[in-house]
Amino acid sequence: MFSLTPAAAQQIQQAASASGATELALRVAAKIDPDGSLQYGMGFDDPKDEDMRLDLGGVAVVIGGESQELLFDTVLDYVELTPGEFNFIFSESSASACATESGPSGGCGSGGCGSGGCASKARTH
């Protein structure tokens, strides 16, 4: 099951409030690139009928059918990567946190994730 850490939930709630997206859900997506790396993305969006809907730490999360298997057993966290630099990271719940690449990974909903940005991580699958 996909999950959020309390730090990620708090930052998402702050970003939703700051951007006026409190009525929207956080859409989380994943896809495998042609080179086999796994790319993550997220943004605020309206839920669709076919989405998996989760309430995680007070955050409404939706995951489309094509991403559900790829996000199974994944944790979204918000961490300090270097002193003063915070960002979202995706990791497997049974693995240690992975490094991220800065910047949004587009195509996964409308809106952004507020300060801190959206992170994507290439992971071989």
Domain with 29 in it: 3-124
Report in angstroms the alpha-carbon separations of 65 from 12, 31, 69, 89: 22, 11, 8, 21
Task: State the DSSP code for 104.
Answer: -
Share of the chain above pLDDT 90, in %: 70
If you write DSSP's letter for every residue of 30-61 in order, what string do you get?
A: EEE-TTSEEEEEEEEE---TTSEEEEETTEEE
Mean pLDDT computed over 43-69: 95
Res 113: pLDDT? 43
Mean pLDDT computed over 49-69: 95
More confident residue, 28 or 122: 28
Mean pLDDT of the chain: 81
Mean pLDDT computed over 68-73: 95
Taking the alpha carbons at both ends of the chain, their separation in whole angstroms is 18
Residues 43/112, Cβ–Cβ less than 8 Å? yes
Rounded distance, CA 81 to CA 47, Å? 31
Whether the pTM exceeds 0.75: the reply is no
Q: Is the pLDDT of residue 95 over 60?
A: no
CATH code, domain carrying 36: 2.60.300.12
Res 93: pLDDT? 80
Q: Is the pLDDT of residue 119 over 80?
A: no
Question: Domain tally for the chain?
Answer: 1
